[in-house]
Amino acid sequence: MKKILSIANTVIAAALSLLGCSLEGPVEYGTPSADFIINGKASSHSGKPVKNIAVVMRQNLGTDNEGRPVIARTDSTGTDNNGNYRVKDQHRFPQAQTYQLTFSDIDGEENGAFKDTTLTVEFNNPQFAGGDGRWYSGETSKEANIQLRPEE
């Protein structure tokens, strides 16, 4: 019986490889995908760039059976010395997407204390560049600058 199952598994694996199917990777064969990029700058109320701010990108996936929002974390980074950041959601279906960016002060008083802030970024009717002409549609990006409020 084991020998029959082994032969069947080998035949199925060979057939799938001939069809171009793969069991690895984040996107299944035949699924269109694209990358969504958000970059920008975090600054203080006076316009001074703010470094060491954690930036977490989450995607709103809709609601569950009880009407509660379903949010998935997709990427995170920190602002550099010039307040710049860049986050990316890879291998997403190439259609309108909505993301929430949360900005959190992670260094305390070192460069001033700032309130956590959430920003919603929507990609409505996104235009993609750099696709491969097959399943990968390419990437699209938006700039989202934010002015952080000081802690009181």
pLDDT tier at 72, thresholds 50, 70, 90:
confident
Please report, for the chain, the start and end positions of each structural domain, with discontinuous segments joined by +: 30-147
The DSSP annotation for 42-67 comes to EE-TTS-B--SEEEEEEEEEEE-TTS
| Tens digit of each residue's pLDDT (9 = 90 or more) over 117-130 | 999 999 999 999 99
Mean pLDDT in the chain?
Answer: 86
The CATH topology of domain 30-147 is: Immunoglobulin-like (2.60.40)
pLDDT tier at 25, thresholds 50, 70, 90:
very low
What's the pLDDT score for residue 105? 93
